[in-house]
Structure 1
């Protein structure tokens, strides 16, 4: 999903800073690759510092990094907890704080957080308390920061996906996962990309949690 977002922003002539633990340098001069663990503050510091050195400004931030683990609540380990909090919460905090500081200086910017519809529509057959704990926090902070920054020119929104067809899900599981959506299919990566790009251009939208989940958020089925 992150790679697709990079391509989509480049197609619109954005210059992009991309980061993951194993990312490689790009031949595209419009892409700056910064490897690192997003849960660490030093990674966020490098992303923002090197991005400003290369491109001079930060206009948008997409917090796409995330981990998801489904298991019964009482079976989560301390390691599970630390990993989910580290990536989903600390990862958001460190990079968003630094990027927002630059946006506030310029009086413009846009932040998008990728969360999950399980926050609002938990499923008995998919126990995911750590996803709700961490991604639910992102939903809440999206609206909090939207209000905090509302007069500053910086917008803050979220995209709340259903289950998206990525390499995380083996093909043999697709039929069962499709049935977990009222529309009867899994989401495609392009569905999330389209949602992020809509929010990017929607200058009158802030504090929105945009559900891209095949109807999951609308109710039970």
Structure 2
């Protein structure tokens, strides 16, 4: 009897890093439940698209239900969905605060809680969360107080959950990217953003995807925040 393929859930899966993760997990033989507000059916029978706002607990419930009803298991959750608003801390609006908390924190909580319960019952699993290098390497040119408040909280939770779940077979890790070439960065900003990394280039979607897939396969790693930031958190080179 063949072993059933593993199942990964990917949030923010319709474009950029999320779409890259869906493709990578499929290439690795996983079946995937992909969710975002704008996700559509890909035509791949082993990818289930679940549209919805990840901040809504009902979306999290539907995603987990879809994974179990269609595939009967959950092996991996990648919390990729996130919102980033860069502005001086005193200029954030209440609406921006609520948006970042809803997507970055509530979205993580609702889905991770449900998926982790399934993994813990099975005695195995992996949770990976995408954060940002700005948590540990703030930059005056990119004010990021709310990113640090929310994504920094996710990095702390990564370590806490790694310890909480370790003896029960579930690993918990994070990837903290630098500036990645996605649609959120207009092309006319790329040269400036490249110069913010000691390696003097922006990251590619494939750089982040490769880091997640490395952690996926690294069975002896948990509680790790893997920096994919061109050396940002190491320091600065001479101007």
TM-score, shorter chain, exceeding 0.5? yes
Shorter-chain TM range is over 0.9
What's the CA shift string for 1:6-28, capped at 9, x where partnerless?
00000011000000001111210
Q: Measure, in 1, the Cα distance between the counterparts of 2:236 and 2:143.
A: 16
1:135-184, CA deviations, whole angstroms, 9 ceiling, x for partnerless residues?
A: 00000000000000010000000000000000111111100000111110
Q: Distance in 2 between matches of 1:188 and 1:32?
A: 26
Residue 190 in structure 1 maps to residue 200 in structure 2? no
Cα deviation 1:69-103 (Å, max 9, x = unaligned)? 11011100000000000000000000000000000
1:95 corresponds, among 111, 116, 140, to 111
Runs of 4+ in 1 over 3 A off after TM superposition: none
Give the equivalent residue in structure 1 for 2:14: none
Say if 2:192 is the partner of 1:179: no
TM-score by length of 2: 0.92
Measure the CA separation in 2 of the matches of 1:16 and 1:92.
18
RMSD: 0.6
| Aligned equivalents of 2:50, 2:38: Cα separation in 1 | 9
Q: Is structure 2 residue 221 aligned with structure 1 residue 205? A: yes
Match of 1:141 among 137, 147, 157: 157
- The equivalent position to 1:107 in structure 2, one of 96, 102, 123, is 123
Q: Distance in 1 between matches of 2:236 and 2:160?
A: 28
- The CA distance in 2 between the partners of 1:50 and 1:160, in whole Å, is 29
- 2:81 corresponds to which of 49, 53, 65: 65
Partner deviation per Cα, 1:26-49 (whole Å, 9 max, x = no partner): 210000000000001000000001
Q: What is the TM-score of this pair, normalised by structure 1?
A: 0.99
Indicate which of 45, 48, 56 corresponds to 1:32.
48
Question: Which SS does the other structure have where 2:168 is aligned?
Answer: coil
Structure 2, unaligned stretches of length 5 or more?
Answer: 1-16
Q: Distance in 2 between matches of 1:171 and 1:26?
A: 28
Task: Indicate yes or no: 2:109 matched with 1:83.
Answer: no
1:123 aligns with 2:146: no
Aligned-partner Cα distance in 2 for 1:131–1:5: 22
Question: By how many angstroms is 1:50 displaced?
Answer: 1.3
Cα distance, 1:58 vs structure 2: 0.1
Mapped to 2, the partners of 1:198 and 1:22 lie a distance apart of 28
Find the aligned partners of 2:131 and 2:186 in 1 and give their Cα distance: 21
- How far, CA to CA, are the matches of 1:69 and 1:182 in structure 2? 24
Question: Any idea what SS the aligned residue of 1:150 has?
Answer: helix
Q: How many residues align?
A: 221
1:169 paired to 2:185: yes
What are structure 1's unaligned runs of at least 5 residues? none
